[in-house]
A and B are shown apart, each in its own frame.
Chain A
């Protein structure tokens, strides 16, 4: 096999004349982290709201929440990206659509919103499951103490339920990091796109992708470690 390895490539100047190839990769990592974190915050807020609605008594709240979940779960992420990026600006009034297209960092904003909605549907399912897992007697006891339904959720069901679903939420966060790579299709220069750029300019395919893979592994490791600390800090005494 006549492939010329050259690990020194990362310290050479890239065609932009300012950064080394390593700098290109690190800038990509920056976008990956920024996209993943902001999408995750959005997904948590929306997911907790929809998950709460899903656990409410009555058929209509549940139908509404299931509709939301099914909508975002049954369309491929790539297609959702295209809908937000290419289709939405055309469906808005002309002025609003043009303003949207002219935004600086339009692909970053689009990717964040798209990933936020996509992930929120999955978070909602887990949050609803967490609330269900808190024994029904907790709810009854809180009601018996004279709490209103909103108070039951605020003080009992959500604090307990969210702690139960912390481990699956961790893997959902790992998914957000990985899924942010789909944003390269709408022009976001995140980590995978950066590795692809390094490969295209330097022709060092395997070095570029190896570096990106190692960075993803390190980010995963850091995330898992951080989430373990949070899990330990928020653990319930004696379990739920």
Chain B
């Protein structure tokens, strides 16, 4: 079965796969995670807001994003971002944004909806007395949130946030539909050029499996450590 397996094609394309593909995938994962958590936390605060209209819009955004497939969202933003950029800087024509920025904006906005629900759970899990005590000490609403509630919510939710990040790391592979050379995209370019689909896709699956398995084990250990404390 593996008699015709050509390990050489992997060795030959190693640099392209990892220094171009994997670097893109990891960069996009880390930046989209950071952006997604910040934006998601803001959305979570908006959903908890006393202003009905603010809470409504945040809720509508989260539910909308969570009801459509990521592939469709990627297409949406691929075409929408040039118009958005033109609108932001006041240009008359749609702006060329480039693969990385387009993908980063897409994943940040998409993942924010998922991080939002996690952070909302975290905020709700902080006992109400904490916020009340902070207010009684003379803190304002934002101070109480920033100094008391959010840090605790964030610490509680670190394992869940990291698990979502592993999902994000896997989801980045979908930029393949825009022919961007992320790890999968790079591998598939080599696979098609050399006619070595079996080797390349098996190798990609193996790399993802090892990385995600190791990461999820680390999250599990972290979760146990936090649970005892």
Contacts and interface: CB of A to CB of B under 8 A. Distances in A.
B228 interface: no
A87 interface: yes
Contacts of B136: none
Contacts of A87: 197-198, 201-202
Contact of B76 (A70, A184, A209): A209
Given A71-B209, A182-B174, A205-B79, A192 B71 contact: yes
B105 to A, nearest CB: 16
A125 B79 CA distance: 38
Interface string A165-193: 00000000010011111101100000010
Contacts of B205: 75, 79-80, 83
A79 B71 contact: no
Contact of B184 (A76, A86, A213): A76
A90 B197 contact: yes
A177 B66 CA distance: 12
Given A3-B83, A78-B184, A86-B198, A181 B208 contact: no
Contacts of A182: 69, 71, 174
Interface string A139-169: 0000000000000000000000000000000
A182 B173 CA distance: 11
Given A206-B79, A209-B72, A209-B75, A217 B213 contact: no
Contact of B67 (A76, A77, A216): A216
Interface SS majority for chain A = helix
Most chain B CB inside 10 Å of its own CB: which residue of A3, A77, A181: A181
A212 B76 CA distance: 11
A76 B170 contact: yes
A41 B204 CA distance: 29
A199 B201 CA distance: 30
B64 A217 contact: yes
B70 interface: yes
B1 interface: yes
Interface string A63-77: 000000011011111
A54 interface: no
A220 B64 CA distance: 10
Given A209-B72, A209-B76, A209-B79, A79 B177 contact: no
A9 B174 CA distance: 29
Contact of A213 (B68, B174, B188, B197): B68
Given A79-B173, A87-B197, A1 B208 contact: no
B18 interface: no
Given A70-B213, A181-B72, A192-B69, A76 B173 contact: yes
A75 B71 CA distance: 17
Contacts of A102: none
A78 B72 contact: no
A83 B201 contact: yes
Nearest to B67: A220
Nearest to A196: B75
Interface in A207-237: 209, 212-213, 216-217, 220
Contact of B170 (A77, A90, A91): A77
Contact of A192 (B75, B86, B92): B75
Nearest to B1: A91
A181 B76 CA distance: 14
Interface of B: 1, 64, 67-72, 75-76, 79-80, 83, 86-87, 92, 170-171, 173-174, 176-177, 184, 188, 197-198, 201-202, 204-205, 208-209, 212-213, 216
Given A184-B177, A195-B72, 15 more contacts: A73-B216, A74-B208, A75-B208, A76-B184, A77-B170, A78-B173, A78-B176, A79-B201, A83-B201, A178-B67, A181-B69, A181-B70, A199-B75, A209-B76, A213-B76
Interface of A: 1-3, 70-71, 73-80, 82-83, 86-87, 90-91, 174, 177-182, 184-185, 192, 195-196, 199, 205-206, 209, 212-213, 216-217, 220
